[in-house]
Chains A and B, each alone.
Chain A
Amino acid sequence: MSTESLPILTSADFASDQDIRWCPGCGDYSILAQMKKVLPTLGIPREKTVFISGIGCSSRFPYYMNTYGMHSIHGRAPGFATGLKITNPDLSVWVITGDGDGLSIGGNHLMHAIRRNLDLNIILFNNRIYGLTKGQYSPTSPLGKITKSSPMGSIDNPLHPLSIAIGCEGAFVARSIDMNIKHLGQMLKRAAEHRGTSFVEVYQNCNVFNDGAYSWATSRETKADSTIVLEHGKPLIFGKDRNKGIRLNGMEPEVVELGKGVTEDDLLFHDEKSPEPSLAYLLSRMRHPEFPEPIGVFRAVDHPRYDDELNRQVETAREKQGQGDLNKLFHSGETWSVSS
């Protein structure tokens, strides 16, 4: 055993030498800061860490990390990550995407990456707007949203990233908020530690084109009543005075006040390990302003991982057939000789 211990890394070790070019005040800064804080705690060397992104504001992320990275093409980051992870299973591979990149042009790849469950960490920055192209509505923009390309209000029924991830039977699905830095750090860490595809949606403010999209979830006055923190095995309680909860009424969630005949035991208890994704899906459909929106880990279960399975097939084939021999292969089956 080596007596050499791993060097202790800090947040600064993960910063690249590039100037950061996001707009001042962008929520992306906070996500970058939390990432740099979390990575040194994982015990993974920098050279074993790779960030792969698509196109968009969020996708500039890899340039700012002193790890390996690829800023690829629009929507396709999961594809690059898949090929990299299959051939290099010991790398820690992160995919950085946004609501346009991941759900619009790249919706297909996101869906398939999640259902294949390779050991990837996918972080989707959801600002509900196209920022880099200067302000068109995105697939997560709410109905009626007035933008440069929807002057009379958006008529595009929005997608909900977590509903999609859970619909694809994602094994690790979580949500956090750019301003809630402690929680965000926890979610990134849990995503990194989970084996399989970890999908994390981050509510992220675009202060230039969609400022305040999540003010209800971040302002001191409203956040306690409009968000609910999921904790495994605990009842769903929220509110400034922790006096409200979520109860199941048949198949429907409802907001109830504690006291007045309702106790904690009547509430829905969160079970992130449930093999059935139905409750996680139900939580993903709790939306502001009718419901407090859940943040935290919706689902964390262990599923077979595509990269493990493929590499296991390679090992099995080698055990059963021996390491391939081209000369043997070329001469297998029907051959004939021509002599001089």
Chain B
Amino acid sequence: MSTTTEGTSGSAKQVFTIEGATVRLAGDSGDGMQLAGTQFTNTSALAGNDIATFPDYPAEIRAPRGTLAGVSGFQLHFSSDDIFTPGDKLNALVAMNPAALKTNLADLEPNGILIVNVDAFDKKGLSLAHYDENPLETDELDGYNLIKVNMTTLTREAVKDLGLNTRVADRCRNFFAMGLLYWLYGRSTDVTLRFIDAKFGAKPDVAEANRRTLLAGRNYGETTEALPSSYHIDAAKLTPGTYRNMTGNQALAWGVMAAAECSGKELFLGSYPITPASDILHELSKFKNFGVRTFQAEDEIAAVTSAIGASFGGAMAITTSSGPGIALKGEAMGLAMILELPLLIINIQRGGPSTGLPTKTEQSDLLQAMFGRNGECPIPIISASSPADCFDTAIEAWRIAVRFMTPVIILSDGYIANGAEPWRIPDVSDLPKIEITHPTGDDADTFHPYSRDEHLARPWAIPGTPGLMHRIGGLEKQDITGDVCYDPDNHQHMTDLRAKKVANIANDIPLQDVNGPEKGDLLVLGWGGTFGACTTAVERCRAEGLSVAHAHLRYLNPFPANLAELMGRYNKVLIPELNMGQLRFLIRATFLVDAAGLNKVKGKPFAVSEIADEIKRLLA
């Protein structure tokens, strides 16, 4: 479908209505690509599109300028349809320099729109990107819709009478690229103009420069003959309500704040900076007026131990980290488990082992969460499946932690932590209430810290309460009294009790649901951040007539009570994971199900096609 419209400059250009597009901005890590991508995202979300994003940046803050190692990218998929992934192939790529072109070109679809900043393709830029010849002058880019723009020159031109030095002026280039994309996809500049006012208000000349560059980029699109048409994307048919954009880390931060409110607690976060979890610490540090106390500890161990201390004192306590930090917290997590105190341990997984790929995504800490402690130490594990889902996951994790008096591990990953999608804003009064009772000492003659309720949870008695003085610790305790106890039968009994308590959570969580036929040829069983790719791949295969369903696990320990029965209804089970087969290992060991795996650890999420191809291969 297409219509024709009048551009403001008077030139008539065609407007095509399309379902959606996948666009990536790529440039040097100092080029402001993440900012540009975030603005483009917010603008698209406010236009009513469904969105999914994939920011991808190097571990180095500023790798040498212009090099391949320093390329930072931000991918955005927007659509009038329901979407679940940032897209496999790019419809459009903006390359701010030769290095960005080289590292990103492979993802651009044939005949895709390729916008390059020609000014950066000088001898130095080409050499830093290891180009022997200028690709703009060879036939290398013949298969693409190449749009050459003198972005640096045009940016300097737009701001020339503001008296800014060249370095400051050149920093506005990302706004030029944004303006051009806004024109191409029929986006309003309002959101970004408001952002510029808010962000650069204190520096009027910089604000003005960014404003002018943004509009210059948009006007360039309108007038250049290189772009004969632009695109329109209708608003998506989302569930009615008020929406905002959310990244996974922000959703986790707001989710734990909501959990605190739902349970009548004040929140304590003990944390140590680590990629990609630090944004939760940053976000929560802002909300002291909510009674949120954040403690940036001296290390990962002090981060978790301070949280356990706060939990002992009756606070809602959490600690946030990534795999290497969780490894350091292991001993203290074991203590929290045997103390039987509520605590949330949030792991934003990244590529491992060791320091691994700090800024890239992976799901390889599942077995660490499951087994990474000394002794018999089961800890409930729940995972978030998308940026917005992080919010609900946080509340559910805290519900389990306090009902069963246990630490709970939340697994997120770098992909959903930094990715964004629309979040339907709930009314706080509709959120589930989380009941917590603390014993009072009034009628207690002898207090038994390890007596248990119907959930096998022990009482959460808070220091300061008269009559309930008690001592807890890491040594094995006698059942009921909590006194130190080395009796062999008691240790067996307590180990069994603690395991049973965690296993019983299966009776307190929903049965596993399935998307697709109730029984059939293949079940795709996923967990965590692969939700979008699994959903899209399975729907695509079903549209092609294949008998395939999708179940996505939120609860990883314990598993939902019906999981064995559910898997039995399909001839085959495929488990796609961004690891070498960790859930598959657990499923095989627990249920003796001969599940197949689709595994990769390349620091990137699954492409939909990778999963779809494997489904077809298995069903061929």
Please report A residues at the B interface, Cβ cutoff 8 Å.
Answer: 16, 18, 45-48, 50-52, 55, 62-63, 65-74, 76, 78-88, 90-91, 108-109, 111-112, 310-311, 313-314, 316-318, 320-324, 326-327, 329-331, 333-340
**Minimum C-beta distance from A31 to chain B (A):** 17
Q: Looking at the complex, which of B84-92, B166-174, B309-317, B353-361 is the stretch in contact with chain A?
A: B309-317
**How many B residues touch the partner, as a band?**
35 or more
The answer to whether residues A326 and B428 also contact, given A83-B317, A334-B245 and a CB cut-off of 8 A, is: yes
CA distance A134 to B307 in the complex (A): 32
Contact of A80 with B469 in the complex, beta carbons under 8 Å: no
Indicate if B472 sits at the interface (CB-CB under 8 A).
yes
Given A69-B471, A326-B261, A338:B241 Cβ within 8 A: yes
The residues of B that contact A67 with a CB separation of less than 8 Å are: 469
Chain A residues, CB < 8 A from B244: 330-331, 333-336
Whether, in the assembled complex, B254 has its beta carbon less than 8 Å from a beta carbon of chain A, the answer is yes
Smallest CB gap from A322: residue in B: B289
A330 touches B254 (CB 8 A): yes
Given contacts A76-B301, A314-B288, A336-B46, is CB(A47)–CB(B312) below 8 Å?
A: no
Find A91's partner among B238, B298, B313 (CB 8 Å cutoff).
B313
Chain B interface, >50% SS class = mixed
A127 → B minimal CB distance (Å): 21
Interface string of B387-429 (1 = CB under 8 A from A): 0000000000000000000000000000000000000011110
Answer whether residue B7 sits at the interface, using C-beta atoms and an 8 A cutoff. no
Pairwise interchain contact B471-A16, C-beta atoms closer than 8 A: yes
Q: Supply 18 further A-B pairs (C-beta < 8 A) apart from A68-B471, A79-B306.
A: A47-B463, A68-B469, A68-B470, A69-B472, A72-B305, A79-B302, A81-B309, A86-B293, A86-B295, A87-B266, A87-B313, A88-B314, A112-B298, A330-B426, A335-B242, A336-B45, A338-B235, A338-B241
List of A residues within 8 angstroms of B310 by Cβ: 83-84, 86-87
Asked whether, in the complex, the Cβ of B240 is within 8 Å of the Cβ of A338, the reply is: yes
- Assess whether B313 is in contact with A73, with CB atoms less than 8 Å apart: no
Contact of A335 among B243, B289, B291 (CB under 8 A): B243
- A259: shortest Cβ distance to chain B, in Å? 51
Question: How many residue pairs, one in A and one in B, have C-beta atoms under 8 Å apart?
Answer: 215
What is the 8 Å Cβ interface bit string for chain B, positions 272-289, against chain A (1 contact, 0 not)?
000000000000000111
A82 contacts B484, C-beta separation under 8 Å: no
The contact sample of 12 A-B pairs, CB cut-off 8 A, is A47-B467, A68-B471, A82-B295, A83-B313, A88-B313, A112-B302, A330-B244, A330-B254, A330-B426, A334-B46, A334-B194, A337-B242
Q: Is the CB of A71 within 8 A of B471?
A: yes
Among B242, B289, B466, B472, point to the contact of A47 (Cβ < 8 A): B466
**Contact residue among B245, B287, B463 (Cβ-Cβ distance under 8 Å from A68):** B463
Residues in A neighbouring B237, C-beta threshold 8 A: 338
Annotate B415-454 by CB proximity to A: 1 below 8 A, 0 otherwise.
0000000000111100000000000010000000000000
Chain B residues near A324 (CB-CB < 8 A): 257, 287, 289-292
If the complex has contacts A47-B463, A334-B46, are A71 and B240 also in contact, measured as CB distance less than 8 A? no
> A321 to B463, Cβ gap below 8 A?
no
The answer to whether B305 and A83 touch across the interface, beta carbons within 8 angstroms, is: yes
